[in-house]
C-alpha cells in the first residue's frame, strides 16, 4: 500500500507516524501512513485509490478535538496543511481548510475586522472548526461563514451555502455527513474598531490563562454544558476534580478539562470520560455530551 501511495505523487508522505505529535492531548498510537496532499487534484487522486482499495482513512486538522486510540492505526491519515490559501477582499475572506483558525482570528483583528474574536483561543484549522462548528463566547462559525467549498463522497467539488451547512451547537452538515470534506470557506466579517477588537482578544486571553489549564496538553472542554448548568460544576459535585488515572487528570483549575500531566494514555483519558458520564447520569439523570471525537 505504501509503495502504491508513493507512486501517486500526491504530496509529502510520512510512515509510522506517532500520533502524539499531531494531537493536542499528546496521546495516541502509531499510524501506518500520513499524507499531505498538495492540492485538490492530489486529494481526489488519493481518495480514489483509498476508496477503490477500501482503505481505512481519516481527515485530520490540528488534532485539537480528537482522541486517537493507543493502538496501531492501520490506514491513512490525511492532513490538509497545504490547503492554506487566503484571500482578503474588504470584509470577505476566502480561506483554505488547512489554515490556522487562531492565525486568521488575529490577522483579521489587526485589520480591524470584527466577528472572529471568539476564535482567537481555539487551536484548530478552518476545516476542523467548520466540521464541528467551533465556538465560544456565544458565537460560532455558523454566524460568519457564508459558504463552504466541499468535496462530496462522489469526489465532486460543490459549494454549500450557510443554510445547507446546517450549523447548530457544535455540529454541522459535514459532521453529520463525514464523507464530505471541507476544502475552503468564504467568511464574512464586519468593520470595527481595531484597538477595541485587540483589547477584547487580549482580555479574553488573560481570563483563559487564569481559568484554564493551558500549560498542559488537553483538548479543551471535554463535555458540552447541559442546558442551564455547567459540566465543570457537575464534575466537581461528584468529587472528580483532580481525579487521576495514570497521567490523565481532571484539572484542578477547571473540572471540564482533562489534562495530560506526563505520559497519559488515550485509554486512561477515555476511562475518565466514561466514568464521569456514567456517574452524572446515575446521580442527576443528565446525559453529558462529549465534545471530543474518538478514533480507533
| pLDDT at residue 59, rounded to an integer | 97
Number of separate domains in the chain:
3
pLDDT tens, residue by residue, 247-276:
999 999 999 999 999 999 999 999 999 999
Task: Read off the pLDDT of each residue in 100-126 and give the average, rounded to a whole number.
Answer: 96
Which segments of the chain are extended strands (E)?
A: 11-18, 30-37, 57-60, 66-68, 73-79, 86-89, 92-96, 113-114, 135-136, 139-140, 145-151, 157-161, 181-188, 190-191, 244-245, 248-250, 258-260, 293-295
Q: From residue 46, how far is each of 12, 33, 41, 54, 75 by CA, in Å?
A: 12, 12, 9, 12, 13
The pLDDT tens digits of the residues spanning 17-72 come to 999 999 999 999 999 999 999 999 999 999 999 999 999 999 999 999 999 999 99
Mean pLDDT along residues 272-294: 97
37 and 75 together in one domain:
yes
Is residue 166 very low, low, confident or very high in pLDDT (cuts 50, 70, 90)? very high
Tell me, yes or no, if 170 is annotated catalytic.
yes
* Grid cell in block for residue 57: 482513512
For residue range 84-102, list pLDDT tens digits in order: 999 999 999 999 999 999 9
HSE-up (13 A, CA, CB side) for residue 96: 15
CB-based contact 172:93 (threshold 8 Å) = no
- Tell me the per-residue pLDDT of 220-229, one tens digit each, with 9 for 90 and over: 999 999 999 9
**Distance between alpha carbon 55 and the CA centroid of its chain, in Å?**
23
Is residue 291 classed as helix, strand or coil in its secondary structure?
coil
Last residue of a domain, one of 45, 79, 113: 79
pLDDT attached to residue 89:
97
| Contacting residues for 281 by C-beta, under 8 A, at least 6 apart | 287, 288
Last residue of a domain, one of 197, 229, 257: 197
In a domain, 124, yes or no: yes
How many beta carbons lie within 10 A of that of residue 112, not counting itself? Answer: 17
Query: How far is residue 84's CA from residue 105's CA, in Å, rounded to a whole number?
Result: 14
pLDDT of residue 12: 97
Among candidate residues 146, 170, 224, 275, the one labeled active-site is: 170
* Bridge partners, residue 249, by sequence: 244, 259
Of 79, 98, 116, the position where a domain reaches its end is 79
Distances (CA, A) of 89 to 9, 94, 107, 108, 127: 34, 8, 13, 11, 20
Residues 125 and 191 in one domain: yes
Q: Which residues contact 228 (CB under 8 A, 6 or more apart)?
A: none
Q: Which of 248, 211, 218, 215 is nearest to 232 (CA)?
A: 211
pLDDT of residue 248: 98
CATH code, domain with 56: 3.30.43.10
pLDDT of residue 240: 98
Structural domain harbouring 288:
215-295
Cell 500549560 -> residue: 215
Contact 135, 129 (CB under 8 A): no
CATH code of the domain in which 159 resides: 3.30.465.10
**For the residues 206-224, what does the mean pLDDT come to?**
95
How confident is the model at residue 38, as a pLDDT?
Answer: 97
100, 125, 221, 266: which is the annotated catalytic residue? 221
pLDDT grade for 294, boundaries at 50, 70 and 90: very high
Q: Which of 117, 125, 218, 291 is catalytic?
A: 291
Shared-domain flag, residues 124 and 184: yes
Does one domain contain both 152 and 225? Answer: no
Q: Residue 25: inside a domain, yes or no?
A: yes
Instruction: Give Cβ neighbours of residue 74 (< 8 Å, ≥ 6 apart).
Output: 32, 56
Amino acid at each position: 500500500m505504501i509503495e502504491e501511495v508513493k507512486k501517486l505523487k500526491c504530496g509529502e508522505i510520512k510512515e509510522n507516524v506517532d500520533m502524539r505529535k499531531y494531537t493536542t492531548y499528546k496521546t495516541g498510537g502509531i499510524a501506518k501512513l500520513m499524507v499531505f496532499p498538495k492540492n485538490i487534484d492530489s486529494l481526489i487522486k488519493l481518495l480514489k485509490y483509498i476508496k477503490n482499495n477500501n482503505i481505512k482513512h481519516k481527515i485530520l486538522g490540528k488534532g485539537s478535538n480528537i482522541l486517537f486510540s493507543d493502538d496501531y492505526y492501520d490506514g491513512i491519515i490525511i492532513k490538509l496543511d497545504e490547503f492554506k490559501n487566503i484571500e482578503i477582499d474588504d470584509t470577505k475572506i476566502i480561506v483554505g481548510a488547512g489554515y490556522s483558525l487562531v492565525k486568521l482570528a488575529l490577522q483579521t483583528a489587526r485589520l480591524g475586522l470584527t466577528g472572529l474574536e471568539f476564535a482567537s483561543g481555539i487551536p484548530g484549522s478552518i476545516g476542523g472548526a467548520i466540521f464541528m462548528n467551533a465556538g465560544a463566547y456565544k458565537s460560532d462559525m455558523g454566524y460568519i461563514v457564508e459558504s463552504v467549498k466541499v468535496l462530496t463522497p462522489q469526489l465532486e467539488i460543490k459549494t454549500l451555502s450557510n443554510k445547507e451547512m446546517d450549523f447548530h451547537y457544535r455540529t454541522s452538515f459535514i459532521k453529520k455527513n463525514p464523507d464530505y470534506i471541507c476544502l475552503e470557506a468564504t467568511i464574512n466579517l464586519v468593520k470595527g474598531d481595531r484597538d477595541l477588537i485587540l483589547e477584547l482578544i487580549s482580555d479574553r486571553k488573560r481570563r483563559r490563562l487564569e481559568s484554564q489549564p493551558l500549560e498542559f496538553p488537553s483538548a479543551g472542554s471535554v463535555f458540552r454544558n447541559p442546558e442551564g448548568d455547567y459540566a465543570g460544576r457537575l464534575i466537581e459535585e461528584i468529587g472528580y476534580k483532580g481525579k487521576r488515572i495514570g497521567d490523565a487528570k481532571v484539572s484542578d483549575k477547571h473540572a471540564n478539562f482533562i489534562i495530560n500531566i506526563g505520559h497519559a494514555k488515550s485509554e486512561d483519558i477515555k476511562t475518565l470520560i466514561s466514568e464521569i458520564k456514567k456517574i452524572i447520569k446515575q446521580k442527576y439523570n443528565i446525559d453529558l455530551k462529549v465534545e471530543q471525537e474518538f478514533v480507533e
